[in-house]
């Protein structure tokens, strides 16, 4: 399986509309890979709090429309990262969208753990409540977003739902880059799963971004890692390695505290 992680530089000087066009073109350029992954809140930037409500859109909005078309033009599965979603009940969510190679919306995930404690996303956005997996040819993908990476029980819940590959769009700050790498590897090792974690580059809202998108295998080995700037990180991996790792070193069978009860 070949995947391209598009580590986008979210610049304030570039309008949301221009970025949307630029990113759609980058997705089209990935024709030939199986899966393309975009970062969290790449239209606005994950820390551009004042833009969330202004740029929020529905599941039929301009980003969803542009990404559906880009996925079908390229013939790829597209995890289109997340957008500020204006839901029918008026709440704004941090919502990830996954499109099939024919451009159909295959999965929608509303970020469960909102970042910011008493400000930012934590007060401006609603919390999702449902775990989401999506079946791709060869692997079941479990989706999570950025700060979710700090909550291992979410990932264990996704394993219980069949996940073998975690796709994690993010807008992770440079200041905590060491945590990003450590947590991506930890989630891979403890769940014996692939982790494809795609962050943003550059600086927005005065918050320098970590970049360093990363792909980790079920043994915790880093298969590929981006640098700090905008970059397309393409990697080839064998999804069958999840089953062999889980068979040869069957730690998941030794769980003593039971399965995660379903949420939502
Ligand atoms: N956008 C985010 O979720 C940021 C998370 C973060 O900065 C951290 O967990 O540290």
Q: Tell me, what's the ipTM?
A: 0.99
From the CA of 223, how far away is ligand 1's center (Å)?
Answer: 23
| Residue range 186-203: mean pLDDT, rounded | 98
Residue 264 has pLDDT above 60, yes or no: no
Cα 260 to Cα 74, 152, 157, 166, 249: the distances in Å are: 37, 11, 5, 17, 21
Q: What is the pLDDT of residues 131-143, one digit of tens each?
A: 999 999 999 999 9
Q: Which of 55, 85, 121, 146 is catalytic?
A: 146
d(CA 167, CA 80): 11
Residue 262 has pLDDT above 90, yes or no: no
Q: What is the pLDDT of residues 160-179, one digit of tens each?
A: 999 999 999 999 999 999 99
Which of 82, 110, 111, 115, when mutated, tests ligand 1's pocket best, judged by the most ligand atoms within 8 Å of its CB?
115
From the CA of 58, how far away is ligand 1's center (Å)?
Answer: 24
Which residue's CA lies nearest to atom 3 of ligand 1? Answer: 147
From the CA of 196, how far away is ligand 1's center (Å)?
Answer: 16
Ligand 1, atom nearest to 46 Cα: 1
| pTM (two decimals) | 0.97
Q: Where are the domains of the chain?
A: 2-254
Ligand 1, atom nearest to 113 Cα: 3
**3-state SS string for the chain:** CEEEEEECECCCCCCHHHHHHHHHHHHHCCECECEEECCCCCCCCCCCHHHHHHHCECCCCHHHHHHHHHHHHHCCEEEEEEEEEECCCCCEEEEEEEECCCCCEEEEEECCCCCCCCCCHHHHCECCCCCCEEEECCEEEEECCHHHHHCHHHHHHHHHCCCCEEEEECCCEHHHHHHHHHHHHHHHHHHCCEEEEECCECEECCEEECCCCEEECCCCCEEEECCCCCEEEEEECCCHHHHHHHHHCCHHHHCCCCCCCCCC
Q: Which residues' Cβ are closer than 6 Å to ligand 1?
A: 40, 46, 115, 146-147, 150, 171-173, 176, 179
From the CA of 177, how far away is ligand 1's center (Å)?
Answer: 10
Cα 153 to Cα 26, 55, 157, 191: the distances in Å are: 34, 31, 6, 10
Give the pairing type, strands 231-236 and 2-7. Answer: antiparallel
Q: Which of 40, 55, 57, 164 is catalytic?
A: 40
- As its CATH architecture, domain 2-254 has 4-Layer Sandwich (3.60)
């Amino acid at each position: 399986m070949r995947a391209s992680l598009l580590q986008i530089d979210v610049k304030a000087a570039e309008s949301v509309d221009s970025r949307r066009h630029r990113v759609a073109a980058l997705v089209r350029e990935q024709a030939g890979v199986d899966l393309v992954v975009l970062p969290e809140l790449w239209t606005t930037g994950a820390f551009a709090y004042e833009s969330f409500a202004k740029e929020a859109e529905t599941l039929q909005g301009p980003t969803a429309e542009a990404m559906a078309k880009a996925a079908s033009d390229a013939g790829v599965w597209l995890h289109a990262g997340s957008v500020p979603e204006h839901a029918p009940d008026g709440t704004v969510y941090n919502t990830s969208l996954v499109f099939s190679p024919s451009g159909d919306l295959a999965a929608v995930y509303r970020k469960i753990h909102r970042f910011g404690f008493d400000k930012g996303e934590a007060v401006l956005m609603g919390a999702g409540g449902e775990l989401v997996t999506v079946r791709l040819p060869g692997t079941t993908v479990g989706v999570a977003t950025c700060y979710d990476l700090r909550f291992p029980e979410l990932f264990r819940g996704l394993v219980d739902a069949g996940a073998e590959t975690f796709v994690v769009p993010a807008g992770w700050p440079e200041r905590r880059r060491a945590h990003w790498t450590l947590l991506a590897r930890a989630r891979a090792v403890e769940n014996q799963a692939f982790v494809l974690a795609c962050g943003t580059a550059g600086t927005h809202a005065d918050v320098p971004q970590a970049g360093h998108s990363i792909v980790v295998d079920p043994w915790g080995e880093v298969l590929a890692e981006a640098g700090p700037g905008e970059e397309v990180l393409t990697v080839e991996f064998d999804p069958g390695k999840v089953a062999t790792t889980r068979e040869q070193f069957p730690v998941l069978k030794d769980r003593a505290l039971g399965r995660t009860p379903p949420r939502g």
